[in-house]
Structures are given as structure tokens and as C-alpha cells.
């Protein structure tokens, strides 16, 4: 009996050690994945800064330099109306480019008119390309919510729609929005090649895929949930659900 008791105690202690070791390994893996997501988020922000710097330097800077050249040329010659007009056109183009960059950083529609109209504007922009037929439908209007939630949802939507356009070869995109007393629900539908939830959860931990990792961080920041699935043979869907935090009156 004594040997049996000692054996049972030994087995229990060994089992507990294995359980503790397994839990430690799970924590280590989760910590590693969390670190990868944080690093990817930082890298994504740095990439965005580099992209904006490049646009300002290579695009806007070159246009302004051309305008400057025309004006200096006019200084050294007699007045020529076409040179002045060309300079004005270049300056107008630069102003337009700067406005576009500003819009990407903080969309004016989102700031002044709210999330629903900002999403509608995204769909209209896609439609203007002429390559994809995009529509936006809504069942219940989305009320104004706090700024960080609106901006996070807008950025998530930008990333999801950009991925659809870039990778799916879709011809049709439908954005469906709805709202209850407690949640905002957005469904992104398309007829191209899409992702399932399993594919999404696998990709976010792989090297690269910084856009998806950035989505994960934004979702966590606003306590939202996301689900990818194949609705039928011709349609993939992504469902984004966000707790509704209304603005104080």
C-alpha cells in the first residue's frame, strides 16, 4: 500500500510538472506571437511614413521644382503668358496632391460626416476605377461614435478593400452596414478568390502580411471581432463586428 501511495504521489507530481511545462510553453508561444504582431505594427507604421515621405519628395517635390523652374525662366525672359499658365497648373497640381495625402492621413469625410459616409466614399472611389462594380447598402444608419473607433474601422475597411482589389480578381464588391443598439456590423462581400478564417489565422503569424497584422492590432484596440468565410461557390465574406460606443451629447 505504501508503495502504491508513493507511486500515485509520484505520478501526480510528474503530471503536474508536465501540465505546468505545457502551460509555460503555451504562454511562451503566445508572447512570441504578440511580439511579432507588435513588431509588424511598428513596421507597418514606418512603411507608411516612408511612403508618405516618398510621395512628398518624389511627386509633390518634383512638381513644385518644375513650377519653380518655369518661374525662374520667366524672370530671365520677357513676359510669356503660357509660362505663367504652366506654372499655375503645376502649383494647382501640387495643391491637389497635398490634399490627397492629407486625406489619406485623416479623411475629411470621416472627421466631419462620420463613418457611414466615409465608407460610402471609399466605395465610390473604387467604382470610379471602372474595373470593379462596387455598391454600399445599409439597413440601419450608423450613428457617430468616438473618434478612435471610427478611424480604426475606416482603416480596417481600407485594408480589407485594398486586399480584395489587389489579390482576389473580384469583379463585384458589396459593402453592407448595419447597426443595433449595441453593435456596428459591416460585411465585405466579393466574387473573387478570398480567405477563410483558418487561412487568416495562419497568415497573421507568418513573415510579411503586415497589413493583416495591422488589422489584428486595430481590432484588438476597439474590442472588435472579425470572421472570414466562403458564403457560397461565388462569394466570399468578411464580417466585422464592433461594440457601439456612442458619442456623449
Question: What is the residue extent of each domain of the chain?
Answer: 2-105, 108-243
Q: Three-state SS across the chain?
A: CHHHHHHHHHHHHHHHHHHHHHHHHHHHHHHHHHHHHHHHHHHHHHHHHHHHHHHHHHHHHHHHHHHHHHHHHHHCCCCCHHHHHHHHHHHHHHHHHHHHHHHHHCCHHHHHHCHHHHHHHHHHHHHHCCCCEEEEEECCCCCCECHHHHHHHHHHHHHHHHHHHHHCCCCEEEEEEEECCCEEEEEEEECCCCCCHHHHHHHCCCCCCHHHHHHHHHHHHCCCEEEEEEEECCEEEEEEEEECCECCC
| pLDDT tens digits in sequence order for the chain, 249 residues long | 666 666 676 667 677 778 777 777 777 776 676 666 655 665 666 566 666 766 666 666 666 767 766 666 655 555 567 767 777 777 777 777 776 665 566 677 777 788 898 999 889 888 887 788 999 999 888 888 877 888 889 989 988 998 999 889 999 999 999 998 899 999 999 999 999 999 998 888 777 777 888 888 888 888 899 999 998 888 999 999 999 876 555
CATH of region 108-243, choose from 3.10.105.10, 3.20.20.70, 3.40.50.1980, 3.30.565.10: 3.30.565.10
Amino acid at each position: 500500500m505504501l508503495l502504491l501511495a508513493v507511486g500515485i504521489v509520484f505520478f501526480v507530481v510528474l503530471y503536474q510538472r508536465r501540465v505546468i511545462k505545457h502551460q509555460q510553453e503555451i504562454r511562451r508561444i503566445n508572447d512570441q506571437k504578440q511580439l511579432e504582431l507588435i513588431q509588424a505594427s511598428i513596421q507597418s507604421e514606418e512603411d507608411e511614413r516612408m511612403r508618405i515621405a516618398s510621395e512628398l519628395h518624389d511627386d509633390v517635390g518634383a512638381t513644385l521644382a518644375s513650377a519653380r523652374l518655369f518661374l525662374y525662366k520667366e524672370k530671365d525672359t520677357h513676359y510669356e503668358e503660357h509660362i505663367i499658365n504652366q506654372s499655375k497648373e503645376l502649383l494647382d497640381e501640387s495643391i491637389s496632391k497635398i490634399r490627397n495625402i492629407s486625406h489619406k492621413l485623416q479623411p475629411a469625410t470621416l472627421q466631419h460626416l462620420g463613418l457611414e459616409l466615409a465608407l460610402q466614399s471609399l466605395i465610390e472611389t473604387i467604382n470610379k476605377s471602372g474595373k470593379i462594380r462596387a455598391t454600399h447598402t445599409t439597413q440601419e444608419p450608423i450613428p457617430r461614435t468616438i473618434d478612435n473607433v471610427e478611424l480604426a474601422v475606416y482603416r480596417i475597411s481600407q485594408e480589407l478593400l485594398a486586399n480584395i482589389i489587389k489579390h482576389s480578381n473580384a469583379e463585384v464588391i458589396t459593402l453592407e452596414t448595419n447597426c443595433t443598439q449595441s453593435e456596428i456590423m459591416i460585411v465585405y462581400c466579393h466574387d473573387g478568390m478570398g480567405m477563410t478564417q483558418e487561412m487568416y489565422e495562419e497568415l497573421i503569424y507568418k513573415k510579411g502580411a503586415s497589413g493583416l497584422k495591422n488589422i489584428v492590432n486595430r481590432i484588438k484596440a476597439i474590442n472588435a471581432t472579425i470572421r472570414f468565410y466562403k458564403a457560397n461557390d461565388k462569394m466570399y465574406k468578411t464580417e466585422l463586428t464592433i461594440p457601439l460606443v456612442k458619442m456623449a451629447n
